[in-house]
Amino acid sequence: YERIKYEDDCEHAVIALESNQLPDEKVIENIAEACHVEPANVVALVAPTASIVGSVQVSGRVVETAIFKLNELGYDTTNIICGSGCAPIAPVVKDSVKAMGSTNDSVIYHGSVVLTTRGMDEERFKNVPSSTSRDYGRPFYNTFKDANYDFFKIDPNVFAPAEITVNDLDTGKTYHTGRLNGEVLLQSYGIGTL
């Protein structure tokens, strides 16, 4: 929030957590401290990845993944005026690690983002789609498994939408890069064709 110069002054804090367990007292205290509120004023909404809510919340963060990636690429994200996006909601599976794979694949292989911005930076925007990652091209669960379930061994560039469209208000031009990949997504979901 410092980078985008946003500040909130509130006595309460609400956080949504993707987890299979409720946060303990220490976690709530850390959240309260970071938000400058009393621990009693923290509300934590918790949903496991392997649930409808888990599937919805991951797909719902598709625009966030594009903005995060642009920030990592050095783009001044305060130039973004608005954004919208969509990604399919992954079918719910019982295994939480496999659910993490299929929910992430919703964004990686079928997430679509549209941004309206000023100061278009073609080189940075070209590097947003997940297809720029060395780990692109197969279900995320397989990549995660091959990395011995260690996120730090996975190329972070894969955590991005499949495609992005940018309308530059400075020039009036619109650009598109990336592509949807339904084949890998269906494989990830375990959906066969008839």
Residue 116, in any domain of the structure: yes
Average pLDDT score over the chain: 94
The boundaries of the domain holding residue 136 are: 52-189
Model pTM score: 0.89
Name the domain count of the chain: 2
Nearest to 62 by CA among 34, 90, 43, 81: 90
Residue 131, in any domain of the structure: yes
Both tokens of residue 103? Answer: 């929910």
Both tokens of residue 64? Answer: 């966030």
pLDDT in tens, 48-72: 999 999 999 999 999 999 999 999 9
Tell me the pLDDT band of 26, cut-offs 50, 70 and 90: very high
Q: Which helix (DSSP H) or strand (DSSP E) does residue 98 occupy?
A: helix 96-110
- Indicate the SS3 state at residue 143: helix
Residues 27, 57, single domain; the answer is no
Residues 81, 176, single domain; the answer is yes
The per-residue pLDDT for 173 is 95
pLDDT at 3 over 80: no
pLDDT in tens, 128-149: 999 999 999 999 999 999 999 9
End-to-end CA distance of the chain: 48
Residue 194, in any domain of the structure: no
